[in-house]
Amino acid sequence: MTDRPRKKPEDLRSAKWFAPDDVRSFGHRSRLKQMGFDDVDYRGKPVIAILNTWSEMNTCHTHLRQRAEEVKRGVYQMGGLPLEVPVMSLGEMFMKPTTMLYRNLLAMEAEEVIRCHPVDGVVLLGGCDKTNPALIMGATTANVPAIYVSAGPMIKGGWRGQTLGSGSDTWKYWDERRAGNLCDEAWTEIENGIARSAGHCMTMGTASTMGSIAEALGMSLPGSSSIPAVFAEHQRMAVQSGRRIVEMVWEDLKPSDILTAAAFDNAIVTDMAIGGSTNAIVHLLAMAHRAGVDLTLDRFDELSQRTPFLGNVRPSGKHLMPDFHDAGGLRGLMSRITDLLNLDCLTVTGKTIGENIAGAEVYDDDVIRPRDNPVSPTGGTCVVRGNIAPDGAVIKRTAADPKLLKHTGPAVVFRDYNDMAVRIDDPDLDVTADSVIVLQTAGPLGAPGMPEWGMLPIPKKLLKQGVRDMVRISDARMSGTSYGTCVLHVSPESYVGGPFAFVQDGDRITLDVEARSIHLHVDDAELQRRRDAWQKPAPRYTRGFGKLYSDQVTQAHQGCDFVFLEGPDHTPEPEIH
Ligand code: FES
């Protein structure tokens, strides 16, 4: 446990707004009174902003208004003043073309909302995929004491005695539907039963992965990330987080004290041990660069190769997040990999990660596997490179058919999503189970926003023959709930003239995951000829946020942050006039 000097009330950031005897502060104080607060409510007390991503357009966050009230209860208990601040919500289900287009916008908003207001500490209420990295990126740059409260997974889905997992079972049963194996009635029953409560996807999708990563980084209370959203335990965790943030303000415990290179290694090791979403790679790269940590794709592969995959949760495993929670949650899992973690890393508790997980136990060895019986001896995600992905691409090896991890086949190329949608189920499409399906123009700029299209559909005629996996390659991302032999995040993307743009129908491609290689069997002279013939596409946007995004976004292997937002520099504090 650290012994940090405590801040004095006059040192609070909010004191600059409320303490001086001048006309500006008079205005600030009188307007607090307009809201019904008296002197006793704020004088000398930390102001805690609760950044809330609740929205009726976000299906996963319907409980976050109530959770904000519970955070407030904790803040009041410890003598702080909680003020709830709504921020942009990024709901995966309704937002088009993709929430990833807006991750950096929420990150900017979070940073600026903190900076421009009298905020001493901040509680970040997120959960649905991109809200987590966006809020943490913004808080990292703002660098005031911050604690992340994850929305938590929804309860398990069910249909005719089967357990249904978010996303994963949608894809599975959709393939059965396309193959003609599922009637209208059954399909509607699945629709009714797959999402049955508030909370984020309850598979080890991106939301569960990023919640676990926030905890492994030290930005959330220990054990908090797996608590199902509708459990009373989740309410109590929100109250505890409210209590803790007030103490963090007095201790001046900031993200810069927590988000070190060693903490990011812990996050990557944990990501590999839980079989986390490939999206975590893009987000962790961006988050690390905000913290001044020089993280690269290669570090993921290094740590993946020495980390066993223990979290037996779908889509790479068998169970769901509520099972993972009952089995001991992330504390239980981390207690099984202590030799791979940097146990001295400081966390929001004011204690180290080692202290946080001390005494943790695992209560179900099938859900959280022991070291001598892992789901896989190495981590879930691998980085591959080659002449069509010189800056790298990723594959979730544990979600792929092992027979396809070394495979050569002819390319069937779709120039963009619309081309694929029109032709993929054409009975005359020249495709077999050995083909390699390629989708171009699906990256950060091309799509735009690098949507989760990477689990490219199996052509219907092959589904009917019983084919359920093929090698698929794109510069897109893939939902954390998806599965299959899908090579993703090809960098640089095709839209900017990366060599992936030059793949043509019939070209042979070899994927060799063990060798970390992806190779297009086209000689350099022919590739150069295709490069010379390539024409740069017109910009997607000429105005608005899309223009800012297009001008600034980096490639997948760099984290897709905006160039002007990267790095640990902070914008100056506002003058209080
Ligand atoms: Fe919100 Fe999956 S749709 S986490």
Which of 64, 89, 128 gets mutated to test ligand 1 (max ligand atoms within 8 A of its CB)? 128
The Cβ of residue 365 has, within 10 Å, a number of other Cβ atoms equal to: 13
Cβ distance 342 to 262 under 8 Å? yes
Per-residue pLDDT tens digits for 105-142: 999 999 999 999 999 999 999 999 999 999 999 999 99
- Asked if residue 224 lies in contact with residue 147, where contact means CB atoms within 8 angstroms, the answer is no
Q: Read off the pLDDT of residues 47-58 as tens digits, 9 standing for 90 and up.
A: 999 999 999 999
| Lowest mean pLDDT across 254-258, 389-393, 541-545, 570-574 | 570-574
Distance (angstroms) between ligand 1 centre and the Cα of 73 equals 27
Q: Tens of pLDDT along 365-386?
A: 999 999 999 999 998 889 999 9
- Spacing, Cα 129 to ligand 1 middle (Å): 6
Which residue would you say has higher pLDDT here, 232 or 316? 232
For each of the domains in the chain, give its residue range(s) and CATH number, in order of start.
Answer: 9-155+197-357 (3.40.50.2300), 158-193 (no CATH), 382-533 (3.50.30.80)
The answer to whether residues 528 and 434 touch, using CB atoms and an 8 Å cutoff, is no
What is the Å distance from ligand 1's center to 60 Cα? 6
Determine the pLDDT at residue 284: 98
Give, using CA atoms, the residue closest to atom 3 of ligand 1.
92
Share of the chain above pLDDT 90, in %: 94
Which residues have C-beta atoms less than 6 Å from ligand 1?
60, 92-93, 128-129, 166, 200-201, 205, 207
Q: Which pairing describes strands 121-126 and 146-150: parallel, antiparallel, or unpaired?
A: parallel
Instruction: Report the distance separating Cα 488 and Cα 384, nearest Å.
Output: 10
Query: How many A from CA of 307 to the centre of ligand 1?
Result: 27
Total residues belonging to the chain:
577
Per-residue confidence (pLDDT) for residue 206, from 0 to 100: 95
Average pLDDT over residues 461-477: 95
> Rounded to the nearest whole angstrom, what is the distance from the C-alpha of residue 153 to the centroid of ligand 1?
9
DSSP at 495: G
Q: What amino acid is encoded at 107 in this protein?
A: A
- pLDDT tens for residues 497-530? 999 999 999 999 999 999 999 999 999 999 999 9
Q: Which atom of ligand 1 is nearest to the CA of 166?
A: 2
Mutate to test the pocket of ligand 1, among 129, 204, 477 (most ligand atoms within 8 A of CB): 129
CA dihedral 223, 397, 395, 293 (to 10 degrees): 40
Q: Kindly state the tokens that stand for 459.
A: 């052509």
